[in-house]
């Protein structure tokens, strides 16, 4: 069953993520994808994550699609103006890529080419509108398309945004994204079920499946680093402690992740597992969570 | 908008002395210049430096709003005592054929003579006494005003070509008509020394004196023995001087009896204090009724007075019933009031009266060409009033002789008081006090009581002046960036209607804003930029030609007390100026252009700075300039702040 | 106002290295206000260049001049004669000033001594902050008077990205996320509902823009 069908049939959704590397070697990425393809509904392919220059997400998405692994093409507004975005979308469609996750994108100064021109001609909301327009047979300028795509767009939300104004604005923007056509939502990494439950209460009635983000911890250091540097992420002290104390980091990490998956089963409509190089461990997580 | 107004000290001074001008010169260590500034408006600096009534100090804005007034009088004395007697100036040329006659060689007459001589008139002074000086030589006692000082000031006036004929009394030896025949204009400055005595019986007893007679006799060297107990009646400086003189003549118990209270005494509070210190007692609300004794006075009968201050003015006096009492006395001195002697000039008096009729502020009398001034017109006042009056009269005589209209008196704009918000930010610094002879020993001689400031004291005291009205002003070049508003340590500049606006009444003249204005639109009246830049250029040229590429250039604050070691020695060239906050980045860099090996900036450090935040801004400018030096490959260490 | 800063000294020195007579020309408007190119800076730069030249044994004569507004040819005309006596002009005006000067003087090379960095307003003593991007389609009415085009690192007009941390922008911990500021302002104005409106991507301006206000 394809990702779209899974969403539409109300199934508990499972996605994972792969990040193309710097260079042309796709060996490991494909191996990882193969290893998990049967346990998930689709795999996100990141778009120059953290603004670091890498192999493009469109090419990788296409190759996955060719191999029968359903990709979710992540597309950011950082590097493309509205011409390039529309054109890349059409290219994606003809290359067999149907699911698109619309993102604003990190600022170039955070990456390895900090002097690069930030484009941001559009933002995540207008990118979603753009897909709807294309799906409707026109481009943004109102010209008719000869051959029309039928994208399945998704968007993201950061449930861990600063309480108060930050979260309020995330929610307002989430509504705008849904209104602009987002059909599924993936969240930033979540580590605490309690606060995630509260977040889910806030989005009740939004009527779009929300997939809780799960980042697999690889070490206590990584957890601390994320707490400090990644917006919206807060790994609780207990998990950091567990990662410090353990002799078997993989085992503990899998335990933590599966605990989260288990918890989310009754709270939201799916999970999105970001294993960051540990993709091959994803089946263990799902096994342990009983999925 | 007016950009200048008089500081109150100058405005209040009857001769509008450029107080801050000479105070600033003293602060900068230049007594010669200070003396020059003083002599521009005052022919009696050493006199005024001692006994002036200091109207300036009473309105000094430092005293009014910050702490205590600047010791202006003591600074004036310091300048005139320390300045080397200038090279004898050649007498001014006689430019006009008219001759002018002055009657009375007191400060009023001598000032008129001085000014007229400088203008180019031939001046003759007639004086009834055998020595000129008026009350300066014959009234005011030596312990306050040594005689040789008065003599040397008088000599200076003589050196201008003024002829002083002593022993000529108007009315006795010469008449007004004679003078009018021989001279083209006459000025009468005959003082005010006819005593007005209270109506008491016993005036004829020996041992009863009027104060001026008494003081005159003492000054002439007449031997006096006032006995043990002395009562002086009156409340002005004559009373105090008579009392203190008696102490010095050997009296042991001296009392001043005054009708009113201490608050109404015309004498200055400091004089009262000095007298008290010396042991003189005061009986207030006391008036004499009779002097009693057989041939020689033995006691004074007096009554208590009641002063009703509610009716305004000096209040209304009434005798307290049944309050009569007696005081023993060997000598009684009456210092109760003086009026001018006008018998010799009856034709100038009001119909049937004996008061002079005066037509304008410059002292014109009923008779064209005859002018009068000083105490002779006003009744007893002060030396500086007499000088002012002499000055005005000289101007009036000149205008009269040249057929010009008499000039209306210029109305000067005066600075406003300091706002509390600004005054609060001015660093406090107490007033320096000159050393005085101790009260125990001084009463045995006529030695001068108050000493002159030491040079250190003088500079410290002079640095207290707030430079009122010499502050910053904004030119048309203002770009209205409002940086000045943000940098001023005293929050003075404000956005104005068109440009930034700096209220001259509030500006402290620290110069910080001038150093930070990106449009170079701010200048200070306290050493304007063009002057400063010219100075810098001059000194640099000298340095360059004497010791090319091997000199140290220093900016030194006038107000810093010590000069650091680094700034002494050979090949060091310095610019001293009041405050360093205004030395801008360009001024710090330009000596390098001329080849300076090092540029040193020497302020007084945060603690002692008279200007708020001045050293902070100096440091910032130095840092900025150092960064620029670094950027052009010059060791930034070559520019630094050094402290003493 | 236009905000500019003085270029690194080495770069300035390099641009004029082939000349021995240079006129530094400041501007009395914006760049004076931002403390970069007014009469005072002209003096400082002139002195620095002379000192540098001298220390390197080079001949350099530096003239000084400041116009009221360098971006108007009429003011440049006033110094035409003086400028003719120099081999090159070092302008302390903004980019517009440099160009007006170059255009007006025609055959004398004009070089910039400043880097023009943004338009903005005053931010405390000596501080300036970018506040407007001259986008040509002002949306301040919907953002509580705070411009996300100029003040969001990504010029987002539809609400914040997910990168803000503790209310600060993802590009710098020293900068508030502008959407945080907008939220607070709209809250105070009772206009939070404006956040729900979607702003279509802006029509980008065509450079160079021209404006005729004479009609
Ligand atoms: C004891 C005393 C203490 C004082 N202390 C102070 C003080 O501390 N501070 C201060 O500011 N002021 C003081 N004064 C006041 C001050 O001295 C006088 O106000 C001032 O001297 C007036 O100057 P004048 O030129 O008008 O008159 P005078 O100084 O009185 O001079 C008048 C001159 O005219 C001469 N004269 C008079 N009649 C004739 C005539 N017919 N023919 C020719 N010559 C004549 C007199 O001999 C005298 O030389 C004091 C006065 C006295 C008496
Ligand atoms: S502070 Fe100086 S200028 Fe101001 S009133 Fe006092 S003496 Fe005069
Ligand atoms: S600093 Fe200078 S240019 Fe700026 S407002 Fe003040 S006077 Fe005007
Ligand atoms: S900075 Fe100093 S000179 Fe300038 S206005 Fe303020 S007090 Fe006056
Ligand atoms: S954090 Fe805020 S200001 Fe920074 S890029 Fe994101 S939305 Fe813009």
C2-117 belongs to which CATH class? alpha beta
Summarised one tens digit per residue, pLDDT across range A139-154 is 999 999 999 999 999 9
Please report the pLDDT score of residue B1 as a whole number. 42
Number of domains in chain B: 5
B504 CB less than 6 Å from ligand 4?
no
Residue B352 shares a structural domain with residue B288 = no
User: Residue B53 belongs to a domain with what CATH number?
Assistant: 1.10.1060
For residue A286, being part of any structural domain is answered with no
Helix (H, G, I), strand (E, B) or coil at A68: coil
Ligand 5 pocket test, candidate residues C179, C183, C195, C199, most atoms within 8 A of CB: C179
Ligand 1 pocket test, candidate residues B47, B106, B127, B216, most atoms within 8 A of CB: B106
In this complex, how many residue pairs, one in chain B and one in chain C, have their CB atoms less than 8 Å apart?
A: 79
Summarised one tens digit per residue, pLDDT across range B321-359 is 888 999 999 999 999 888 999 988 888 988 777 788 998
Residue B38 shares a structural domain with residue B111 = no
- For residue C203, the chain A residue with the least C-alpha distance is A121
Backbone angles phi, psi at B505, to 5 degrees: -75, -20
Summarised one tens digit per residue, pLDDT across range A5-57 is 999 999 999 999 999 999 999 999 999 999 999 999 999 999 999 999 999 99
pLDDT at B93 over 90: no
pLDDT at A242 over 90: yes
- For residue C156, the chain A residue with the least C-alpha distance is A123
Residue/partner pairs of B15-20 with CB below 8 Å, 24 or more apart: B15/B41, B15/B42, B15/B384, B15/B387, B15/B388, B15/B391, B16/B41, B16/B412, B17/B41, B17/B42, B17/B56, B17/B76, B19/B56, B19/B70, B19/B72, B19/B465, B20/B465, B20/B467, B20/B468, B20/B469, B20/B470
Residue B105 shares a structural domain with residue B175 = yes
Q: State how far the Cα of B433 lies from the Cα of B379, in Å rounded to an integer.
A: 33
Q: State how far the Cα of B489 lies from the Cα of B426, in Å rounded to an integer.
A: 9
Say how many Å lie between the CA of residue B8 and the centre of ligand 2: 7
Which atom of ligand 4 sits closest to the CA of residue B514?
A: 4
Summarised one tens digit per residue, pLDDT across range B264-287 is 898 888 889 999 999 999 999 999
For residue B72, being part of any structural domain is answered with yes
Summarised one tens digit per residue, pLDDT across range B94-106 is 899 999 999 999 9
Please report the pLDDT score of residue B108 as a whole number. 98
Q: Is C181 on the interface with A (CB under 8 A)?
A: no
Please report the pLDDT score of residue A120 as a whole number. 96
- Asked if B420 and B449 touch (Cβ cutoff 8 Å), the reply is no
For residue B392, being part of any structural domain is answered with no
Q: State how far the Cα of C157 lies from the Cα of A122, in Å rounded to an integer.
A: 9
- Asked if B644 and B562 touch (Cβ cutoff 8 Å), the reply is yes
ipTM reported for the complex, 2 dp: 0.90
Ligand 4 pocket test, candidate residues B425, B470, B511, most atoms within 8 A of CB: B511
pLDDT at B49 over 60: yes
- Asked if B67 and B48 touch (Cβ cutoff 8 Å), the reply is no
Number of domains in chain A: 1
Domain-terminating residue out of B301, B319, B337: B337
Say how many Å lie between the CA of residue C149 and the centre of ligand 5: 11
Summarised one tens digit per residue, pLDDT across range B431-462 is 999 999 988 889 888 999 999 999 999 999 99
For residue A108, being part of any structural domain is answered with yes
For residue A288, being part of any structural domain is answered with no
Instruction: Give mean pLDDT, residues B465-488.
Output: 94
- Asked if B27 and B72 touch (Cβ cutoff 8 Å), the reply is no
User: For the purposes of burial, counting CB atoms within 10 Å of the CB of B528, is it exposed (0-12), middle (13-18) or buried (19 or more)?
Assistant: middle
User: Residue B641 belongs to a domain with what CATH number?
Assistant: 3.40.50
C-beta atoms of C201 and A158 within 8 A = no
Domain that holds residue A163: 3-216+268-277
Say how many Å lie between the CA of residue C188 and the centre of ligand 5: 21
Residue B538 shares a structural domain with residue B620 = yes
Residues of chain C in contact with residue A161, where contact means CB-CB under 8 angstroms, are 162, 164
Please report the pLDDT score of residue B86 as a whole number. 62
CB under 8 Å to C74, separation ≥6 — which residues? Answer: none
Nearest CA to ligand 5 atom 6: C161
At how many degrees (to 10) do helices B585-593 and C39-55 cross? 20
Residue C168 forms beta bridges with which residues? C165, C176
Residues of chain C in contact with residue A158, where contact means CB-CB under 8 angstroms, are 162
pLDDT at B517 over 60: yes
B127 CB less than 6 Å from ligand 1?
yes
For residue B558, being part of any structural domain is answered with yes
Nearest CA to ligand 2 atom 5: B60
For residue A282, being part of any structural domain is answered with no
Domain-terminating residue out of B505, B524, B543: B524
User: Residue B135 belongs to a domain with what CATH number?
Assistant: 3.50.50.60
Q: pLDDT band at residue B88, thresholds of 50, 70 and 90? A: low
C167 CB less than 6 Å from ligand 5?
no
CA distances from B541 to A54, B19, B599, B640 (A): 65, 33, 15, 22
Instruction: Give mean pLDDT, residues B294-316.
Output: 87
pLDDT at B3 over 60: no
Residue B236 shares a structural domain with residue B293 = yes
Residue B208 shares a structural domain with residue B328 = yes
For chain C (length 215 residues), average pLDDT per consecutive 10? 96 96 97 97 97 93 96 96 97 97 96 97 94 94 96 95 92 93 96 93 86 81
Helix (H, G, I), strand (E, B) or coil at B238: helix
Residue B430 shares a structural domain with residue B450 = yes
For residue A243, being part of any structural domain is answered with no
Say how many Å lie between the CA of residue B536 and the centre of ligand 3: 24
Please report the pLDDT score of residue A11 as a whole number. 94
Nearest CA to ligand 2 atom 6: B60
State the maximum Cα–Cα separation within chain B, in Å, rounded to a whole number.
Answer: 99
Instruction: Give mean pLDDT, residues A206-213.
Output: 95
**Domain residue spans in chain C?**
2-117, 137-196
Residue B194 forms beta bridges with which residues? B339
Which of C50, C55, C125 has its CB closest to that of B634? C55
The ligand whose atoms approach the alpha carbon of B522 most closely is 3
C177 CB less than 6 Å from ligand 5?
yes
Please report the pLDDT score of residue A110 as a whole number. 94
Say how many Å lie between the CA of residue B517 and the centre of ligand 3: 5
Summarised one tens digit per residue, pLDDT across range C83-106 is 999 999 999 999 999 999 999 999
The C-alpha of B550 sits at a distance from chain C's nearest C-alpha, in angstroms, of 14
Residues of chain B in contact with residue C33, where contact means CB-CB under 8 angstroms, are 479-481, 518
Please report the pLDDT score of residue A7 as a whole number. 96
For residue A190, being part of any structural domain is answered with yes
What's the start-to-end Cα distance of chain B, in Å?
42
Other Cβ atoms closer than 10 A to B597: 14
Query: DSSP labels for A33-57?
Result: HHHHGGG-SEEEE-SSGGG---S-H
pLDDT at B213 over 80: yes
Q: Subunits with at least 3 CB pairs below 8 A relative to chain B? A: C
> Hey, which residues 242-261 in chain B have their CB within 8 Å of chain C?
none
Sort strands B494-495 and B500-501 into parallel, antiparallel or unpaired: antiparallel
Nearest CA to ligand 3 atom 2: B517
Summarised one tens digit per residue, pLDDT across range A66-107 is 999 999 999 999 999 999 999 999 999 999 999 999 999 999
Nearest CA to ligand 5 atom 5: C153
C-beta atoms of A123 and C204 within 8 A = no
Domain that holds residue B299: 196-337
Summarised one tens digit per residue, pLDDT across range B574-606 is 998 888 999 999 999 999 999 999 999 987 776
Say how many Å lie between the CA of residue B257 and the centre of ligand 5: 87
For residue A287, being part of any structural domain is answered with no
Summarised one tens digit per residue, pLDDT across range B21-37 is 999 999 989 999 999 99
> What percent of chain B is modeled with pLDDT above 90?
75
Q: pLDDT band at residue B90, thresholds of 50, 70 and 90? A: low
Mutant choice from C47, C53, C56 vs B, greatest count of B C-beta within 10 A: C47
Q: Is B482 on the interface with C (CB under 8 A)?
A: yes
Q: Is C139 on the interface with A (CB under 8 A)?
A: no
In this complex, how many residue pairs, one in chain A and one in chain C, have their CB atoms less than 8 Å apart?
A: 95
- Asked if A105 and C171 touch (Cβ cutoff 8 Å), the reply is no
For residue A180, being part of any structural domain is answered with yes
């Amino acid at each position: 069953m394809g990702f779209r069908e899974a969403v539409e049939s109300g199934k508990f959704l499972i996605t994972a993520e792969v990040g193309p590397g710097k260079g042309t070697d796709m060996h490991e990425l494909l191996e990882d994808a193969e290893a998990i393809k049967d346990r998930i509904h689709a795999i996100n392919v990141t778009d120059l994550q953290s603004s670091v220059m890498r192999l493009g997400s469109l090419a990788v998405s296409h190759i996955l699609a060719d191999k029968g692994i359903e990709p979710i093409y992540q597309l950011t507004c950082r590097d493309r103006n509205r011409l390039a975005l529309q054109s890349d979308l059409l290219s994606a469609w003809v290359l067999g890529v149907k699911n698109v996750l619309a993102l604003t994108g990190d600022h170039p100064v955070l990456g390895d080419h900090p002097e690069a021109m930030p484009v941001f001609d559009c933002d995540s909301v207008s990118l979603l509108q753009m897909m709807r327009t294309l799906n409707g047979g026109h481009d943004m300028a109102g010209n008719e398309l000869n051959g029309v795509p039928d994208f399945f767009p998704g968007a993201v939300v950061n449930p861990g945004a600063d309480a108060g104004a930050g979260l309020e604005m995330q929610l307002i923007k989430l509504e705008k994204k849904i209104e602009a056509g987002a059909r599924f939502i993936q969240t930033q990494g979540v580590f605490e079920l309690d606060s995630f439950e509260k977040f889910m209460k806030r989005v009740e009635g939004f009527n779009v499946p929300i997939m809780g983000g799960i980042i697999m911890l690889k070490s206590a250091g990584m957890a601390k680093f994320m707490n400090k540097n990644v917006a919206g992420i807060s790994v609780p002290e207990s998990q950091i402690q567990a990662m410090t104390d353990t002799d078997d980091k993989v085992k503990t990490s899998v335990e933590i992740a599966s605990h989260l998956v288990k918890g989310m089963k009754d709270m939201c409509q799916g999970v999105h597992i970001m294993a960051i190089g540990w993709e091959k461990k994803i089946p263990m997580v799902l096994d342990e969570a009983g999925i | 908008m007016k950009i200048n107004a008089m500081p109150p000290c100058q405005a209040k001074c009857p001769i509008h002395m450029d107080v801050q001008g000479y105070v600033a010169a003293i602060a900068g260590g230049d007594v010669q210049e200070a003396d020059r500034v003083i002599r521009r408006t005052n022919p009696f600096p050493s006199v005024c430096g001692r006994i002036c009534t200091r109207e300036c100090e009473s309105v000094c804005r430092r005293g009014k709003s910050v702490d205590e007034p600047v010791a202006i009088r003591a600074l004036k004395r310091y300048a005139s005592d320390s300045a080397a007697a200038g090279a004898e100036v050649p007498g001014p040329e006689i430019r006009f054929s008219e001759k002018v006659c002055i009657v009375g060689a007191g400060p009023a007459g001598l000032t008129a003579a001085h000014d007229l001589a400088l203008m180019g008139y031939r001046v003759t002074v007639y004086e009834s006494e055998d020595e000129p000086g008026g009350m300066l030589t014959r009234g005011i006692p030596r312990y306050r005003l040594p005689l040789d000082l008065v003599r040397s000031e008088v000599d200076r006036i003589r050196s201008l070509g003024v002829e002083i004929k002593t022993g000529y009394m108007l009315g006795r030896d010469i008449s007004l008509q004679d003078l009018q025949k021989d001279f083209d204009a006459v000025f009468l400055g005959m003082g005010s020394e006819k005593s007005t005595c209270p109506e008491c019986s016993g005036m004829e007893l020996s041992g009863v004196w009027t104060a001026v007679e008494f003081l005159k006799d003492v000054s002439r060297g007449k031997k006096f023995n006032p006995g043990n107990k002395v009562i002086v009646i009156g409340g002005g400086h004559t009373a105090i001087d008579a009392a203190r003189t008696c102490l010095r003549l050997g009296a042991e118990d001296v009392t001043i009896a005054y009708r009113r209270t201490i608050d109404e005494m015309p004498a200055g509070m400091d004089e009262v204090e000095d007298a008290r210190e010396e042991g003189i007692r005061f009986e207030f609300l006391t008036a004499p009724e009779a002097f009693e004794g057989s041939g020689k006075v033995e006691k004074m009968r007096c009554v208590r007075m009641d002063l009703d201050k509610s009716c305004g003015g000096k209040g209304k006096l009434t005798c307290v019933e049944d309050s009569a009492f007696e005081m023993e006395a060997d000598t009684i001195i009456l210092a109760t009031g003086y009026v001018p002697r006008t018998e010799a000039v009856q034709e100038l008096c009001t119909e049937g009266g004996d008061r002079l009729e005066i037509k304008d502020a410059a002292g014109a009398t009923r008779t064209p060409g005859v002018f009068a001034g000083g105490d002779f017109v006003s009744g007893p006042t002060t030396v500086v009033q007499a000088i002012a009056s002499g000055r005005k009269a000289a101007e009036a005589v000149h205008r009269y002789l040249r057929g010009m209209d008499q000039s209306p008196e210029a109305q000067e704009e005066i600075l406003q008081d300091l706002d509390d918000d600004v005054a609060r930010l001015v660093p406090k610094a107490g007033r320096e006090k000159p050393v005085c002879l101790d009260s125990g020993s001084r009463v045995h001689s006529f030695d001068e009581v108050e000493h002159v400031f030491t040079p250190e004291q003088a500079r410290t005291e002079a640095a207290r002046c707030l430079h009122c009205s010499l502050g910053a002003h904004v030119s048309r070049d203002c770009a209205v960036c409002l940086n000045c508003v943000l940098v001023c340590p005293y929050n003075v500049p404000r956005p104005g209607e068109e440009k930034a606006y700096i209220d001259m009444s509030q500006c402290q003249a620290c110069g910080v804003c001038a150093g930070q204005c990106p449009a170079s639109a701010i200048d200070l009246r306290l050493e304007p930029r063009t002057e400063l830049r010219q100075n810098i250029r001059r000194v640099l040229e000298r340095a360059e030609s004497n010791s090319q590429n091997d000199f140290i250039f220093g900016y030194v604050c006038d107000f810093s007390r010590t000069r650091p070691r680094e700034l002494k020695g050979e090949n060091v060239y310095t610019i001293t100026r009041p405050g360093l906050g205004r030395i801008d980045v360009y001024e710090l860099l330009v000596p390098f252009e001329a080849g300076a090996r090092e540029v040193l900036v020497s302020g007084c450090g945060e603690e002692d700075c008279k200007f708020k935040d001045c050293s902070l801004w100096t440091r910032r400018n130095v840092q900025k300039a150092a960064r620029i030096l670094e950027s052009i490959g010059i060791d930034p260490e070559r520019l630094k702040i050094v402290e003493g | 106002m236009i905000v500019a800063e003085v270029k690194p000294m080495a770069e300035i020195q390099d641009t004029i290295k082939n000349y021995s007579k240079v006129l530094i020309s400041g501007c009395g408007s914006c760049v004076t206000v931002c403390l970069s190119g007014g009469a005072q800076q002209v003096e400082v730069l002139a002195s620095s260049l002379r000192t540098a030249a001298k220390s390197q044994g080079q001949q350099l004569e530096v003239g000084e001049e400041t116009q009221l507004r360098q971006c108007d040819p009429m003011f440049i005309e006033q110094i035409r004669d003086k400028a003719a006596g120099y081999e090159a002009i070092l302008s302390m005006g903004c980019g517009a000033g440099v160009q007006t000067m170059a255009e007006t003087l025609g055959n004398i090379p004009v070089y910039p001594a400043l880097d023009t960095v943004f338009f903005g307003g005053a931010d405390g003593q000596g501080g300036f902050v970018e506040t407007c991007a001259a986008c040509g389609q002002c949306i301040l009415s919907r953002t509580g008077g705070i411009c996300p085009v100029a003040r969001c690192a990504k010029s987002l007009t539809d609400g914040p990205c997910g990168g803000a941390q503790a209310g600060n922008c993802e590009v710098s911990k020293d900068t508030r996320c502008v959407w945080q500021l907008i939220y607070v302002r709209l809250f105070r104005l009772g206009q939070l509902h404006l956040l729900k409106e979607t702003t279509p991507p802006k029509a980008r301006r065509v450079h160079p823009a021209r404006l005729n206000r004479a009609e």
